[in-house]
Structure 1
Amino acid sequence: MILITGATGTIGSELVRQLVARGIPIRQMSRRGLPDFVPGDFEDPESLRKAIDGVDSVFLLSAPGPRVPEHDRAMVAAAVDGGVGKLVKLSAIGTADEGAPGNWHAAGERAVRESGLAWTILRPAGFASNVLRWLPAMRAGQPIPNQTGDGSHGFIDPRDVAAVAAEALISADHAGRTYTLTGPELLSVPDQVAVMSEVLGQTLRAVDVPLEVYAEQLRAAGLDEAVVSVALRGAELIRSGGEQTLTDDVERVLGRPAGTFRSWVEFHRAAFE
């Protein structure tokens, strides 16, 4: 039995789909009381103990934010106390020392490694599916906002992240491994827009958004200042060419190359029509 936290999100929902298709018994956790979900809240230890009862492995995914460290530690503690055998944590590319500003995942990674359980850590690059955020602008006939200039990044298909997570959960071959998961190519936002224009048969263009304007937009959307700060650092890192990592970890785990951004757009064409 595998417990999937974050089961309603981009990676969690795809992981559920893939495991169910393979006939693997799963349990989905949500704090929202959804049908067919076990109730569980990272800030309620008793709910976590109940959620992991009878579970062999846990996929640990905490929603991004400054409370990720305490949420991760709470689930690790519950897993250890409940006799879980394996933890697979979804982290993020570039995770470094805990003291780095806005580094939400390092403490959770350390807790997972020190748990005494079998563990695997996944550090994915930015998701190809993040371009769905451009839909309002596209539907309004407006240019696509670009906060990262000509900086490029190894965007990954979320289906590949979920596929690697599934292998880590059901196989003993990935214990003690940390995988950095990227797509097969470096792309800038203008590159992505060009691919989408070709695949969708639309004339799309990007417009540069200065980081100070981006910051005000995030604040106007009501985001916490800690989240704004991390988003700005991430955008600046890509804009400056500081996040151009490519790995073959997806192929090493799955035995096939990582999917391209073009293949993701082609598969999800209907979402843009």
Structure 2
Amino acid sequence: MILVTGATGTIGSELLRQLVASGIPALGMTRREVPGFVRADFEDPDSLRKAIEGVDTVFLLSAPGPLVPAHDLAMVAAAVDGGVSKIVKLSAIGTMPGSWHDAGERAIRESGLAWTILRPTGFASNVLRWLPAIRAGQPIPNQTGDGQHAFVDPRDVAAVAAAALVSPDHDEQTYTLTGPELLSVPDQVAVMSDVLGQALRVVDVPLKVYAEQLRAAGLDDAFVSVAVRGAELVRDGGGRTVTDDVERVLARPAGTFRAWVESNRAAFA
């Protein structure tokens, strides 16, 4: 039995779908009451202990934010105490000492359990956050200038996670998951314009303005700082990482951004 945390999110929901479609026993975990899901909270150790009863393997996905280290450590502790045999953790590309995912990665490596760590780049599906601007006929905000990034299809991330969960071939491996091509936001918008048949525009957003927008949206300073640093890294050319890890695990090329837009055309209607 596999327990999938973050089961209602982008990767968790797709991973559950793929596991169920393959006939692999899996349960989704969520903090809210959702029919058919296990209700548990990273900040409630008793609920975690109950969630892993009868579970062999855990897919660990903690929502981005400063609570990631505490949430990861809580699940690792529960998994070790509960007799889980393997953890597959969704981390982030470029994880460094002291970053949100660092403590969880170290705890998993030192847990004595079988483990795999996945470090995806930005998801192709992140462009869905542009929907309000697209529908309002407004230009798409660009915080990263001409900086390029190898956006990965979330379905590929979930497929790699599924492979790591069910096979020992990926134990003690850290995979950096990227798409096959480097694209800037203007590049993405050009692809979307072509596929959707719309003349979409881009407007540059200075990082100072971006930070102000995030604070105005109610995000705390810890999140704002990480988001701005990430945008600055890409803007300055630090996001130009492309790997073949998806292809090596799945024995097929990683999906392109264009293919993701084409298969999700209805979402932009």
- 1:166 pairs, out of 137, 162, 166, with 162
1:131 aligned partner: 127
Instruction: Confirm whether residue 232 of structure 1 aligns to residue 228 of structure 2.
Output: yes
Aligned to 1:143, which of 118, 132, 139?
139
Residue 241, structure 1, aligned to residue 237, structure 2: yes
CA–CA separation in structure 1 for the residues paired with 2:152 and 2:182:
10
Residue 79 of structure 1 deviates from its aligned partner by: 0.3
User: d(CA) in 2 for partners of 1:67 and 1:197?
Assistant: 37
TM-score after normalising by structure 1: 0.98
Mapped to 1, the partners of 2:96 and 2:70 lie a distance apart of 17
1:190 equivalenced with 2:173 (yes/no): no
For residue 8 of structure 1, what is the aligned residue in structure 2? Answer: 8
Return the offset for 1:243: 1.2
Matched, 1:219 2:215: yes
> What does 1:90-105 align with in structure 2 at a 5 Å threshold?
90-98=90-98, 103-105=99-101
1:201 lines up with 2:173 in the alignment = no
* Counterpart in the other structure of 1:29: 29
* Runs of at least 4 residues off by over 4 Å: none
* Cα distance in 2 for residues equivalent to 1:47 and 1:147: 39
Structure 1 residue 81 corresponds to structure 2 residue 77: no
Which residue of 1 is the match for residue 55 of structure 2?
A: 55
Q: 2:174 aligns with which of 164, 174, 178?
A: 178
CA distance in 2, matches of 1:252, 1:159: 15
What does residue 111 of structure 1 align with?
107
Deviation string 1:71-127 (CA, Å, 9 cap, x unpaired) is 0000000000000000000000000112xxxx1000000001001000000000000
Shift of 1:265: 0.1
Equivalent residue number for residue 153 of structure 1 = 149
Q: Give a deviation string over 1:189-221, Cα, whole Å, max 9, x none.
A: 000000000000000011000001111100000
Quote how far apart the aligned CAs of 1:171 are: 0.5
Q: CA RMSD in A?
A: 0.5
Aligned to 2:193, what secondary structure does the other structure show? helix
Q: Deviations over 1:159-206 (max 9, x none)?
A: 000000000000110000000000000000000000000000000011
Is there any run of 5+ residues in structure 2 with no aligned partner, and where?
Answer: none
Shift of residue 140 of structure 1? 0.3
Q: Which amino acid aligns with 2:257?
A: F
What stretches of structure 1 of length at least 5 have no aligned partner? none
- Which amino acid in structure 2 is aligned with residue 49 of structure 1? R
Task: Name the amino acid aligned to 1:76.
Answer: V
Deviations 1:36-73 (A, max 9, x none): 11111000001000000000000000000101001000
**AA aligned opposite 1:10:** T
TM-score (norm 2): 0.99
> Aligned residues, how many?
269
Q: Distance in 2 between matches of 1:62 and 1:170?
A: 21
SS of the residue corresponding to residue 214 of structure 2 reads: helix
Distance in 2 (CA, whole Å) between partners of 1:20 and 1:27 is 9
Distance in 2 of aligned mates of 1:70 and 1:114: 16
Instruction: Report the secondary structure of 2:215's partner residue.
Output: helix
CA shift, 1:35, in A, is: 1.0
Letter of the aligned partner of 1:136 in structure 2? P
Aligned-partner residue type, residue 12 of structure 1:
G
